[in-house]
Chains A and B, each alone.
Chain A
Amino acid sequence: QVRLQESGPGLVKASQTLSLTCTVSGGSSSSGGYYWYWIRQHPGKGLEWIGYIYYSGTTHYNPSLKSRVTISVDTSKNQFFLNLYSVTAADTAVYYCARDLGYCTGSNCYSLVYWGRGILVTVSS
């Protein structure tokens, strides 16, 4: 069973960098065919897709955050990372990491089958 666990500071000061780690167990971030994601949820609100990384390092980001976000991976540690720069109070949210189904229809399915429990990050002024 694949498990994902987010970790990092729960409090970040405005204008600083939010840095989170997702540790994968029961599987491998170096496994081909899967994409690894960051999604966030503002308090009491819906879900926002931040971006993904493929094990090879290919990334894709939400244009609404693109200039402030990087996602990276360390396959040797089975971890992937989120860095969100120049944060403001609007970045206060629960941040989730997730993995997709991989190949399911002869092509990749980006359905998010494994999720971490989420970590609340509060941006303080």
Chain B
Amino acid sequence: AQSVTQLDSHVSVSEGTPVLLRCNYSSSYSPSLFWYVQHPNKGLQLLLKYTSAATLVKGINGFEAEFKKSETSFHLTKPSAHMSDAAEYFCVVSAPGTGFQKLVFGTGTRLLVSP
């Protein structure tokens, strides 16, 4: 069975400092992995996805993530945080389904950015 564990429920950074949101996954298959962002009372927006191509994946708004099979990790990083990055971030693994894409969500990490 597929699962994801987001290691921090909250992360606080200052504007201009690096961001690291940690995610470990478990999968019986070669997984597809995603990071989604959710601003308050909004839907989810895809930041980036890994689907067995390059292990370093670049996404929108300066975010990137590195797939490390040996560590079963898919951590999300950004060199310099901006106030607008404050949101909830979800690490997601795609589970094989019978003809549809079943997503398994982590519990989320709330990113707080202070001036």
A associates with B:
no
